[in-house]
Amino acid sequence: DGKFLLQVGKYGNNKGSNDLENFGRVAKIFVDPKTNEAFVADGYQNKRVAVLDADTGKMKRYWGAYGNKPDDSNLGPYNPDAPPAQQFRNPVHCSDVSNDGLVYVCDRQNDRLQVFTKDGKFIKEQWYARRSLSEGSVWDVAFSRDPQQRYIFMADGRNQKVRIILRETLEELTSFGDGGRQPGQFFGVHSIATDSKGNLYTTETYEGKRLQKFVYKGVGPVRRGSQGVPWPRPG
């Protein structure tokens, strides 16, 4: 009914990625109904996943990349040929929990997806379009609606695509979309979600400024006749 219930943190009071009370421009929140915990992707200024009691807002735990204690030191520009960064880069853009209790974290500017247990133990990682610079490639994820959540749908706003990932192995199976303003194309695809029927919803930032719905028909390569115009066009 719109009644205000709770505020956690105060604007301008953030003391960094080890602050127990405030946040640094949160990117996304996922509430786990099994534990009543809120998993906070924190965020555009901080470099962590924070877990809160969803009723009280009390901080329960937090972690950085690989389960490390977060460190806000400047990592310098992303270099795809360098050893993997031991901290997240800004923004930490998603922290979604699967039905089997794994936490999938979008480390956007490091071009990688990291997987943890709910207590922050690192499990595995995978890179996507690893040579994507600037905004990075791993913007948001949503799970398929089968009980096993076999697939991950990944929004890649830098490369103007939605990637379809086999969740068990993190292997990319296929993708759809390219840059453009027509239906099925993207300009800065920023967020992604699925409904109870498995249909996909995407939102676009920057000059995209729209929401698109894609009706779920199964997973597989898209036939040429159903593809959008490639962007950039081949030389």
In this prediction, residue 220 carries a pLDDT of 62
Q: Which two tokens stand for residue 177?
A: 């979309």
Which stretches of the chain drop beneath a pLDDT of 70?
220-235
In this prediction, residue 233 carries a pLDDT of 54
In this prediction, residue 218 carries a pLDDT of 79
pLDDT tens readout for residues 112-161: 999 999 999 999 999 999 999 889 999 999 999 999 999 999 999 999 99
Burial of 27 (0-12, 13-18, 19+ CB in 10 A): buried
What are the phi and psi torsion angles at 65 (to 5°)? -55, 140
In this prediction, residue 225 carries a pLDDT of 65
Burial of 215 (0-12, 13-18, 19+ CB in 10 A): exposed
CA dist 108 → 4, 134, 209 (Å): 32, 10, 20
The pTM for the full model equals 0.93
Please report, for the chain, the start and end positions of each structural domain, with discontinuous segments joined by +. 26-226
In this prediction, residue 217 carries a pLDDT of 86
Domain 26-226 has CATH 3.30.1360.10: no
In this prediction, residue 135 carries a pLDDT of 94
